[in-house]
Structure 1
Amino acid sequence: MFQMRFLINILLMLAIGIASVEIPVSGEVTAFTLESETSNSLAGVLKSGDLFLHNIDMDEGTFTSIQFQGYHQSNIIGSPELPEIHKLIEIPQDAVPRIEIINKEVEYYNLGDYGIENPIFPHQPSLSKSQDPDDVPFEWNEALFQTNAFIEHELISVELKGQLRSLRLANLVIRPI
């Protein structure tokens, strides 16, 4: 019995490993670090780690999910679900956030070179615990997916979230893809 369980576990691990693809970007762990912080500014560095891709089979077709280990996904319903890095920051009460990118390096990857031919999985609406997933329609902005162009999002944005006692909080969102 133990040998049968062991064999099933090994086969399951192999199947999961074969089903996913890793695109080596830097060989490092994805990390955003704040290098300096003053009352007027924040300075940080983003190191992109390797990308992990895996296929998702749906009734509507096969899609590919792209992820950085341990980070968020974009949340525009029906649009491609792309990795994002979120960092909660404090902003002075009367300050107007301004972003200045001092240096950036861009590298382009063709997913076809890694055997990925499927569209990126579109973000789906959240479901409550009482909802049946079969009753919720699959959201997919097909017109956006038919466009043969890059989706231009701001690389970095600041989303004001509100007050928490005496602190003014914002979400720093970094979109490396």
Structure 2
Amino acid sequence: MKLKHIFLSFFLILASNIFSSDIIINDEETYFSVTDKNISEFSFINSVSDVTTMIVKTEEGEFVKLIVPAYNSDSKNGEAELPVLQKLIRVPFGSEIAVKIINLEEKTINLSDYGFSIPVFPNQPSISKSATDIPFYFNEEYYNLDKFTGNNIVETELLGKLI
């Protein structure tokens, strides 16, 4: 029985390596670090070292899923599920939030340079464990656009107040 579990574990590790690969962006580690903070402002550095890719096969076809540890997606259902870092910050009540980008280094990644000619996996809603009929969301109009549809580099949203 134990040998069966070892074989299954080995197979799963091997299978995940076959169907996933990394896109290296830089030689550093992926990290988010607050570098300076006081009562009125703070500074941070966010660095992504690599993006793991995984082929996902669905009834609608094959897609490439982009994975960055600790990142989520904020895409609309059916649109490309792109990695996004979300952080909660506490601001004094009644204050205004202003964002000033001091230094920005960005790199546009063309997935075809890494052998992918398939679309990025579309964002899917959370589903109940008891759901029986699970629809697959794919916004064809969105995927037919021939332009960058990215969001702002930094967005803020007031979520409420802590008591």
Fold in common (TM above 0.5): yes
User: Which residue is 1:18 aligned to?
Assistant: 18
Could you tell which deviates more after superposition, 24-33 or 142-151?
Answer: 24-33
Deviation at 1:33, TM superposition (A): 1.0
CA distance in 1, matches of 2:44, 2:150: 22
C-alpha distance in structure 1 between counterparts of 2:124 and 2:3, whole Å: 40
Q: How many residues align?
A: 163
What are the Cα deviations for residues 95-133 of structure 1, in whole angstroms up to 9, with x where unaligned?
11111111101212221121111111111111123322x
Distance 1:4 1:78 in 2: 39
Higher relative contact order (CA 8 A, sep 6+): 1
- Distance verdict in 2 for CA 1:125–1:6, change over 3 Å: closer
Give the C-alpha shift of residue 5 in structure 1: 5.1
Corresponding residue for residue 138 of structure 2: 140
Partner of 2:115: 115
- 1:90-169 superposed matches below 5 A: 90-132=90-132, 135-165=133-163
- The alignment partner of 1:99 has SS state of coil
- The match for 1:32 is 32
Structure 1 residues 157, 164: closer, same or farther in 2, change over 3 A? Answer: same
Asked whether the 8 Å contact 2:32–2:46 carries over to 1, the reply is yes
SS of aligned partner of 1:28: coil
CA apart distance, 1:2 = 5.6
Question: Equivalent pairs: percent with the same residue?
Answer: 31
TM-score relative to the length of structure 2: 0.91
SS at match of 1:57: strand
Tell me what 1:51 maps to.
Answer: 51
| Ranges in structure 1 where 5+ consecutive residues have no aligned partner | 166-177
Which residue of structure 2 aligns with residue 68 of structure 1? 68
Q: Alpha carbon RMSD of aligned pairs, Å? A: 1.7
* Secondary structure, aligned partner of 1:22: strand
Distance 2:55 2:43 in 1: 36
Q: 2:3 & 2:128 partners in 1: Cα distance? A: 40
Go from structure 1 to structure 2 and tell me whether the alpha carbon gap of 1:125 and 1:3 turns closer, same or farther (over 3 Å shift).
closer
- List runs of 5+ in structure 2 lacking aligned partners: none
Question: Aligned in 2, Cα 1:11/1:136: closer, same or farther, shift over 3 Å?
Answer: closer
Q: CA separation in 1, counterparts of 2:66 and 2:2?
A: 36
More strand by share: 1
Equivalent pair of 1:67/1:73 in contact (CA under 8 Å): no
